[in-house]
Every structure is written in C-alpha cells, then in structure tokens.
Amino acid sequence: LFKMKLLHARHTESPKLQACEIRARLSMHKIDHLIYNARLLQLTAASKLTTIDDGAIAIEDGLIAWIGPQSQMPTKWRKQAKHATNLRGALLTPGLIDAHTHAVFTGDRAGEFARRLDGESYADISRSGGGIMASVRAVREQSEDALVLASTNRLGELLANGVTTIEIKSGYGLSFADEAKQLAAAKRCADELGLQVQRTYLALHALPPEFAGRRGAFVDTVANIWLPDLHHRGLVDAVDVFMEHIAFNEFECMQVLSAAKSLGLPIKIHADQLKHSGGGALAAQLRALSADHLEYTSAADVAAMAKAGVVAGILPVAWYQLGDFQKPPIKALRQHAVPMMVASDLNPGTAPCTSLRLAMNMACVLFGLTVEEAIRGVTVNAAKALGLIDRGSLETGLRADFAVWEVQDPAELVYWMGGQFCRQTWIGGQQLQSR
Ligand SMILES: [Zn+2]
C-alpha cells in the first residue's frame, strides 16, 4: 500500500504533500535501511546533472522514502534505522538500465568475426549459413536449462558493472516453442541473479527456414497466433521488429505492431540501421516506446519522433563492430529534444559487449554525446524507453535500485574503458553485490 501511495503521490500530488506523508510515515515506523556519507548523483528528466555530497537515502519497502543532504536528515534516524550503510564518500547512482539487448543465446560467433577480418563479407557469411541463422540453430539445439546456464554469466557481468534492470529480446528461436523458450530463459537468468528484467518478443527478426518463400504466412502466423499466445502465457512485456531492407518491410512490421497494440503491448522498432527504411517514422506513427539504431533516420522523421514522444535508442557498439560510417542524427535529436537512450545491444553477432559503460564511452567518443547525455541514456531515458516510471533516477517514491562506484567524478563512469569500479549494487532496497 505504501508503495502505491508513494507512486500515486509522485505522479498526482504536490511534492509538499508527498513530503509530508513520507515524513509522517517515517516518524511512525522504523526505516528499513539508511545509506549515508554518499555522493548522490542527481539527474532527472527535468534537471541537469549535479551531485549531493554527504548525502543520505532512507529506504522503506524497497523504495526511496527520503533523499537529501545528511545535514537535513533528522538525527534520530541514524539510531532508528534497522540497518545502516556508510558509503564513505563513494558515488551512488541509480542502478543502470540496459534497455536493448539480445543477451540470451548460446554459441558465440567468434569464428565469423575472424572470417570477416580475413576479408569475407557479412553477406557471404550469411549465405553460407552464418549470421542470425547461426544463432538460431544454436538456440534451437539447446534446452531451456542450457540457455539459462550459458546466459547467466553474461548477465552477471552486466550486473557487476552496475546494471540493475535489463531488457532482453527473443528472436533467435523463430518458432513458437523456441521463442517461448528464449523468453522463459530470460526471466530465469535474471531471477537467478536478482536482476530486474523486461522481456521483448522480437517478433520479426529473420524469416525461419520453415517459412522459406512464404513470408506472408509467417507474418500472419506471428501476428495472429504466436504473439497472442506468448502474451497469454505472460512472457511478453513489449514487441519489437527488425525493419530493414534485408529483414522486414513497413507493411509486414505494421501488421505485427498493430496486433501488439491491439493486445495493449508497447512496441519498439530496430529502425534505419543500414538504410533509410522508415522505421523512425513508423515508430512515431505508432507511438512506439523507442526506435533504436537510427543511423539513417532523417531530420523529418526525428521531428515526428519528438512529437510522438518516442525515445531514440543509440547503439554504438554494433556501429563500431560493423565498421559503419553513417552516424545517427545526434544533432537533430538534440534540436528536437528527443530523449536518447544508450544500450549495449549485447548480441553474438554485432555487439559481443558485456559492458554498458563501454557503450556509454563509445556513444560519446564515436557519436559525440556529452557525459550527461550518456549517463541520462542509461538511467532516466533508458527507463522511459522501457515504459518504466518507477526507476531511472534518485527520487522519493522510486525503486531503491542503486549502483555504488569507487570513483570521484561521475564522468569517470564514461571516461574509463574498462575497470571494475562498481562496489555494490542494490535492487529493490536489497544489496546484491559487494566487493
Ligand atoms: Zn538489437
């Protein structure tokens, strides 16, 4: 009830009223956990990046019940709190959110990577059975248990680097049973680690061999049979499509995304990565949560995305790995105030990257994002890209999902390429990991 009240207060009532209610609540009950001597990262949809030095956070029922400078905290709380943690000046940020991954798979594609470096083209490798189909074969061959076993370590690496919420897409099954298996495995991996997960059914990724020459039948089956059934089984939080000249066209994507919308599911699009295929525009038209990649998205499409409230997913790792030249239209996205999300895009083909911080560094160095934009991209805007209103910043009423870092300046999170600076992760008010 307290959780609901806090969220309700946050979204409907004045901050003053909300603060009163929380103070009253905290004076009556013991605080579950008090974190003090922390440098708190402050960054919201409306505010610029700042820090509160000597900050404190009171956690109640897994939520941030109070946050502010220690000097403003009632002194008796130190004694009242059931548990207290002294962070000795360490930086505390919201738990990072990796809002675009294909993290559940078996079998890497290191062999293909070597072949590409030997001069073979991606198209030739695909024609000889490589590419997405190689991952599809690998996933189909494995049991759900084997998938969980193979993927949990990867997710553990993200967690060790401060990620507390991850989005995981299916799309390497391409049959009903194998897509269901991948989505089920995603939840099990996350649960094993205590990670928060959002599952996206990547409904149109590649044409399965069983439907060779029958594209229409495949799209029909996905839209009218598989999608409603997967949704009915509670396996789907959102639906995604790969809209590209080498994948699926606007008409096909529209059919599946409309079906998703009619089921009340939010949608996402892999848009304009290799050519201007109109994915950004379609995302705006259908009011998608996010359109991701966007290398070839036009300024007009960006304007439409801004109007429709679509988040721009910036995925520099695939761009880097493919040796691409065309960069996403960062200037236009900025001009139109489109929120930018940054993600690892972790996948075996084009982004074998288990560090969200490396993706942040690449977004800055390769695409010209600022440090603040990169941090915003894995916190506030990443939450928005997943349609989650209960996380992404350090504010009263939001989930107590944190990462604690052994760095002085928030810019170091983006500056260092590598390094293990995450000392603790907290999810729902519980400390998961400590170094
Ligand atoms: Zn992707």
Centre of ligand 1 to C-alpha 256, Å, is 17
**169: its two tokens:** 């897409």
Centre of ligand 1 to C-alpha 294, Å, is 12
Centre of ligand 1 to C-alpha 114, Å, is 21
Centre of ligand 1 to C-alpha 345, Å, is 5
405 within 8 A of 421, measured Cβ to Cβ = yes
Determine the pLDDT at residue 268: 98
Cα gap 28→110, rounded to integer Å: 58
Cα gap 319→366, rounded to integer Å: 9
Determine the pLDDT at residue 16: 43
Paired strand residues for 269: 241, 291
Centre of ligand 1 to C-alpha 88, Å, is 39
49 within 8 A of 39, measured Cβ to Cβ = no
Centre of ligand 1 to C-alpha 85, Å, is 38
Cα gap 376→285, rounded to integer Å: 25
Centre of ligand 1 to C-alpha 416, Å, is 25
**297: its two tokens:** 């998205």
Centre of ligand 1 to C-alpha 31, Å, is 41
Nearest to 284 by CA among 263, 262, 312: 312
Cα angle vertex 301, ends 300, 307, to 5°? 95
Centre of ligand 1 to C-alpha 319, Å, is 11
CA end-to-end span of the chain, whole Å? 34
Centre of ligand 1 to C-alpha 61, Å, is 35
Q: Where are the alpha helices (DSSP H) in 13-80?
A: 15-28, 77-80
Centre of ligand 1 to C-alpha 192, Å, is 24
Centre of ligand 1 to C-alpha 370, Å, is 23
Q: Where are the alpha helices (DSSP H) in 289-404?
A: 299-308, 316-321, 330-335, 356-367, 371-377, 380-385
CA quadruple 371, 379, 399, 180: dihedral positive or negative? negative
Cα gap 150→103, rounded to integer Å: 10
372-390 in b/e burial notation, b at 16+ Cβ within 10 A?
A: ebbbbbbbbbbbbbbebee
Centre of ligand 1 to C-alpha 234, Å, is 22
**407: its two tokens:** 């760095």
Instruction: Check residue 226 and report its DSSP letter.
Output: I
Cα angle vertex 231, ends 225, 232, to 5°? 85
Q: pLDDT per position in the chain (435 positions), as tens? A: 455 555 554 544 444 445 555 555 555 567 899 999 999 999 999 999 999 999 999 999 999 999 999 999 988 888 889 999 999 999 999 999 999 999 999 988 999 999 989 999 877 888 888 889 999 999 999 999 999 999 999 999 999 999 999 999 999 999 999 999 999 999 999 999 999 999 999 999 999 999 999 999 999 999 999 999 999 999 999 999 999 998 999 999 999 999 999 999 999 999 999 999 999 999 999 999 999 999 999 999 999 999 999 999 999 999 999 888 999 999 999 999 999 999 999 999 999 999 999 999 999 999 999 999 999 999 999 999 999 999 999 999 999 999 999 999 999 999 999 899 999 999 999 999 766
Radius of gyration over every alpha carbon of the chain, rounded to an integer in angstroms:
22
Centre of ligand 1 to C-alpha 348, Å, is 11
Centre of ligand 1 to C-alpha 407, Å, is 31
Centre of ligand 1 to C-alpha 190, Å, is 19
Centre of ligand 1 to C-alpha 102, Å, is 6
